Amino acid sequence: MAEQESALLSQLTEDGVLVLTLNRPEALNALSQEMIDGLSRALDRAEEDAAVRCVVITGAGRGFCSGGDVRAMGRRDEETTASPADDCARWEAQFRWLHRLHRRVPWRLYHLPKPTIALINGPVAGAGLGLACACDLRLASDRAIFTTAFARIGRSGDFGTTFLVRQLVGAARARELFFTADIIDAETALRYGLVNHIYPHDELRERGMELARRLARGPVGAYARMKDVLRAADAGDFDRALELEAMYMTLSGFTDEGREFLRRFLEQRASRQREA
């Protein structure tokens, strides 16, 4: 089943993989309001629809996502107001809009209880990098290039990039990437820990969907609990992680899913032992 919006393509495969394709190839898939609204609705669906077991995000054309729409930023910067009070009101309105946007997309993606994969098929920058880093796994084309980009336009960063990039590459490397806004290739991104794997460009989609289908066949309930514990680990809270591990490990044994996967494992092990 496929649905199309002008800025986002959405397709749910028979295997339970929801594929979201950013669809502004003429602008290297820069984030528009329409695209953000589409992503927000798609994440709502992914969480609520039991048929969705894994989410894949990729870009149309030759890029993944070039970040925010800098032309729209430029138009906002050129707006004039009549008084300092008007400036304050405009600042507060823009702050609240961006904060709501962050909760609707990168926060929701990071907290989504189902596995998420970014297939980075080309250039990724700024907020696009935040979108990719909010996913659980990142697979890159050998043609992909990466940059934080914000320093180039005199901005400090959004879409969760400062938090997420630091989590992946460490404090010192994150500062270097943000301050310099250097462009790095896929091999460097792999070495830094920004991506999990690199594949030849023409194989990326196939390899990414192969992994997505594998995860969709897995214990999605257990994945949700794993992700909750891993977020506690991201926060550096060892005590909380231990508490959650004890709670969720016990809970998993009381679920139909947990019982079924254990039964299969024991049957497969017994079969291998008989064949040995």
Query: Over 50: is that where the pLDDT of 1 sits?
Result: no
The residues spanned by each domain of the chain are 2-216, 220-275
Helix (H) / strand (E) containing 20 = strand 17-22
Query: Over 60: is that where the pLDDT of 134 sits?
Result: yes
3-state secondary structure of 57: strand
CA dihedral sign of residues 230, 234, 235, 241: positive
pLDDT at 187: 98
Tokens 């729209």 belong to residue: 72
How many helices, marked H, and strands, marked E, lie in the chain? 12, 10
Instruction: Quote the tokens at residue 66.
Output: 């070039």
> Region 144-163: what's the mean pLDDT?
96
Q: Tell me, what DSSP letter sits at residue 98?
A: H
Percent of the chain whose predicted confidence (pLDDT) is above 70: 93
> Region 146-173: what's the mean pLDDT?
96
What digits encode the pLDDT tens for the residues 50-93? 999 999 999 999 999 999 877 766 565 566 555 676 778 888 88
pLDDT at 76: 59
Torsion (CA) 166, 132, 113, 7 in degrees, nearest 10: 150
C-alpha angle with apex 101: 83 to 151, nearest 5 degrees?
70
Look at domain 2-216 and name its CATH class.
Answer: alpha beta
What digits encode the pLDDT tens for the residues 206-264? 999 999 999 999 999 999 999 999 999 999 999 999 999 999 999 999 999 999 999 99
CB atoms within 10 A of CB 252: 18
* pTM of the predicted model as reported, rounded to 2 decimal places: 0.92
Query: Over 80: is that where the pLDDT of 33 sits?
Result: yes
Instruction: Quote the tokens at residue 167.
Output: 């989590």
Query: Over 50: is that where the pLDDT of 132 sits?
Result: yes
pLDDT at 276: 78
- Beta-sheet strand order (sheet of 184-185): 124-125, 145-147, 184-185
Query: Over 60: is that where the pLDDT of 100 sits?
Result: yes
pLDDT at 83: 63
pLDDT at 72: 67
Spatial distance between the Cα atoms of 165 and 173, rounded to a whole number of angstroms: 9
pLDDT at 77: 59
Spatial distance between the Cα atoms of 45 and 243, rounded to a whole number of angstroms: 30
Across the strands, what pairs with 19?
A: 11, 56
Query: Over 60: is that where the pLDDT of 105 sits?
Result: yes
Instruction: Quote the tokens at residue 203.
Output: 């194989």
Least confident of 3-17, 67-81, 148-162, 179-193: 67-81
pLDDT at 81: 58
What digits encode the pLDDT tens for the residues 163-195? 999 999 999 999 999 999 999 999 999 999 999
pLDDT at 73: 64
pLDDT at 68: 87
Instruction: Quote the tokens at residue 191.
Output: 């070495």
E runs forming strands in 155-268: 184-185, 197-199
